[in-house]
Structure 1
Amino acid sequence: MTRFSAILFLLTLHSSSAAWGQWNLVQDALPSGANCIQITSDAFNQRGAAWHTCPLHLGASFHLEFEVNLGMNNNGADGICFVLQQVSNESSGPLSTNGAQIGYGSTDGNGVFGSRSLAIEIDTFANDGSPGTGDDNQSDPASDHIAIFRDGSLQHNSPNELSAAVQAHPVDEDIETGINYPLDITWDAATMLLEVYFDGSLRHSLTIDLVADLFDENPVVFWGFTGSTGGLSNTQSFCDNSLYYSSYIDGLAVQEPSPLVACVGDTVSFTALPLTPTVDVLWDTSNDSVIDVTAGGSYAMTGFNSAGCPTHETFDVEILDPALQLLIDSDLTICGGSEATLSATAAPNATISWDGVEGATSVTSEPGIHEVTATVGACSTALEVNVTFQPLPQINFALEGVPTAGPIVICEGDAIEVEAVPSMNAVAFWEGSETHLLAVNGSGTFVATSLIGGCESNPQSIEIQTLPLPEGSFSASPQSLCWETTGEIGFDLFNDAFIVSWDLPSGTTDLSEAGAGVYNAHLIHNNGCEATSTFTYNMLPPIATGLSNPLPLCDNDVVTLNVTGNVDAISWNVGGDDATLPVVSSMGSGPFVANVELGACTQSDTAYVTWWPTPSVGTQPDTVNRCVLDAPYSFVWPTQMDAPVGSWVWSVNDEPATSGYSAFEEGEYTVEIRDTFTGCKDSHTVHVEVLPNLSLVASAEEPLICMGDSTTVHAELLPVLDTDPYEIPFSLTWSTEDGAGFFDNVAGGEHYVTATNACGSAIAVAVVQEEYCGCHVWIPNAFTPDGDGLNEGFKIESSCEWDVFSFQIFNRWGELVWATNDADQPWDGGAPELGDGEHYLPDGWYPYIVRWEYREAGKLSRKQKVGRVLVVR
């Protein structure tokens, strides 16, 4: 709240009234855009109020969403109040004083709002009794704050303060920022909880019986905003964003009687019914007077009276679900029995009946369809069960189509197929299998069963017995044959066995001279079971040493002979017992013999080596120096000691050079000689260093100087054929005494400088001319004033410092066409002196007179020059 100014104001009080939408505006309140109202302008001693045209019924909950703007002057005042009151909501409605009372409070009792009102104060000025804060000491805190009051008083720490002041914004002390802040006010009629949110933050939570404690059991109140300024001001406004409230209650109903119910899975339509004073009603979710409901829950309804004031109510719809579920299969098969127990479950309040007989379970001996129903109120659900009584099938066995009860006897290793044969067209299968056929090759007891209509027969079994086979054992000496040798084979009988016959490999007629191959002994047991014993007599292949002649190679290389096969021992004819033998050209071409052993077998293999001659590049230098202007470095190729297999080819840096090679450029040069057929080669790298020859120039800063003066002569080394003249040491010598380095200070004349390095010398000369330095005048004889930007003006050039200057141009009739006393001003070919306007002269010759005076060494000189100038356009 604001302080009062020390200056006295003469106030003329007047009243004004207006309406804006559903708001009645009082005093200084004005419309401020859609849904927005300005309570005060930014002016001193303003006060205003806005009262909603619809009352608010506290017997129903409300949620009011606003945006408030407290201005943008941090040193402004005073604030606004949200007010519930029972005086009036007209444009002449209640409004208290300005300044600290914010249009609501009063210093002398209840004021215009009486004893039945509530205010949510949003205060932006601290009226705390300190100097400059006015006469009304409201005990305000320093920050912009929010508090809740009753009965027309805004005095903090008083019985009328229902909820003590808190800082308005949860973070910022100042809310006079020009920002629209959200202000939410909620009332829960059931819990009697009033809450205030500012900028989304809960600032007050007050539990209070507003109807009984504040409004004398009258739940209908008027509501709106008040606000004011005093000796300080701000533009203060609010906007209504969303207003959920009821102006009256018990004005809504549903055409159907309560409770509202529907059966699960159905769609039921409910019609909203207006009760006096409601004239228009609709469901919130459908925005229509009829709503189609498929799910239970709460459904909101909104109605309006003839004044357009709302009421809200919520109606609960219950969905009835019998929740019927079978506790048995819907297709129920009874295997081998004559009675079936039927059972189901449903909702706790549902009634269950089987085939019209009440009860959750039923016992029947009748096959076919049986119906179960569950009923809750008017809602009913039905399900069906199909009952089948299935006799159990029987099972028998057959071997090769012949029925058998077993046991079945077979020789060990034999395989038979036993069939399971069912009755009643059932499906038979063996245990652990999905087929009625069983392949058997050993003894055991095997079980089969059959299935029909989901019913399985009692399992049946059959026994399979096996007889032993005749047996024998082979022996061989040696165990394996070396390449192209024979051995001896023996055979021992066991288990009451007898030899019936032999199968011998081709080429073998006697077991004492057995060759490689397969031997079969056909046996029979005294139980009649037959068998064949088989033995394969293996002959080892030749020992694979892997030794072979290597490819020919250069005689400066080393070749390794390898025995790669799997052998037990090795010895070489040249010495050594490793699997590898390094060979050099000094050992000759061979033979190189490897004697190997594998088991009891031995073998010898031989290899030969072919050597090719290797060339030589001879003695070549590592580094060669040449000056850039010298002849190139020439390589010399030596004669080879051996003849090539193909031909000897020379190259330098991979470029052919058999006829010789000359190196010009600096760099690495790799010399190589190679046999074109064998690839045997030798190489060497030579580095050629190219040194710079010197090139020298000399120049004077001023080639023309006045007599008696001096100038600086510069010497510069220039690159020769892209070399760096500074790469190696050099020296400079001047012909002028005391000259040194690249610069020399000289008088007129010829001045020589000599540069010298390891590659020689270079000489340069700089010529400096001398002249007399007096007053000189130069006058051109033509110019082209044609607008092309070149040679556009006729101007005197001189080295003189003028005391007096005069320059005149005449035409051929002697008329003055142009004149100036400014030596720097050129003539552009115009004729301003003719007196008939600015224009340009035609091409031709034009006489001129130049007069001037100057001083030299204190002596005054007067000069005059007459001539002609040619104008060319």
Structure 2
Amino acid sequence: INLGNDTTICSGDSIVYDKPGFSSYLWNTGNTSQSIKVKTPGLYWLKVKYLSCTIADSVNIAYMSDAGFSLGKDTSLCDESPLVLKGPTFDSYLWNTGSTTQQINPVTTGQYWLRGKNGNCVFRDTILVNFKPLPKFTLGKDLVLCDTAVKTLSATPKHTGKIHKWSDGSTAETLKTSGKGTYSLTITDNGCSVSDTVLVDGALKPSLIPFSDTFMCDEIPIMLSFLAESNVNYSWNDLKKDNPRKFIIAGNYWLKASNSCGDSIVYFSVRDTTCKCKIYVPNVFSPNLDLYNDNFSIVHACDLRDFKIKIYDRWGGMVYKSDDSNFSWDGTYAGKKVPQGVYIYVLEYRKQSGAFWILEKPAGNILITY
């Protein structure tokens, strides 16, 4: 009798030992039939009788485990979600995708199987993977709304019947803006969610600092300027866009500022006058060293006494003073250029009127632009 060489069985497999032709059998399992099916590892022996002789043989059965090999239950997940399918440690791997690595990362719906091999044992498992589509949409580009304008936000394309949730907690398919801010929407379909965000900013109709009516002294041209804002279009009544603007002819003028929220217009007059004893105070200068309108000074042909000028910033801080009626300020304070903006001047002097010297204290604004 010969049970053969020691051998190994694979997980889930069995071996049948069948030895006919003897009068009696006794396996160490207690079985007395001529054959047994072996599913577990161990030492197995068989004693048989042939005529008056007792004969025995044994075989050692080893076991190759699948290490609990399983790819898991069939699964459903959302598109673009990461998924790792991984087998235990085998000598070699073969996936139905053709990959021979221990793990793969599926991205499409389908059935996936892995065949792993240890020695002569081959193990296999299969899993069905379902990727559910995402509810793709957009809220559009960021918005700029005028004043109290309201915009109704909605998903494009629409996802009617799907679960909507806005950043304020509301669940309607649309949302009216309630001022500037960040608005977001999450749409959920079959357990899969996608979000988008839109930024809503506010804008106002442009504003203009009014021009005071002014004059040209003996037909000497004057310069007027305005403080420009970004994203605003400016034009004078003759459609010119100069800033600063040189006026050489007396008349009535206007300046218009326009943006997507509307227009603002200021009207003013430029008059010509004789200035034998008139004082002209410009309302703008640009100390940018381009040799054009770089300094601030007054124009006059008067005998002025007890002259003083003081210039203040908008917080009331004095940035310049002089006792000379022929002063010339270069737009600096403590050796540095002052910031662009509107400043206030205060003049004080005595001007002759007949036999008297009259005290005058005019004041006004200067715009500094670079």
Q: Which has the higher contact order (CA 8 A, sep 6+)?
A: 2
TM range (shorter): 0.3 to 0.5
The normalised TM-score by structure 2 is: 0.46
* Higher radius of gyration, 1 or 2: 1
The normalised TM-score by structure 1 is: 0.23
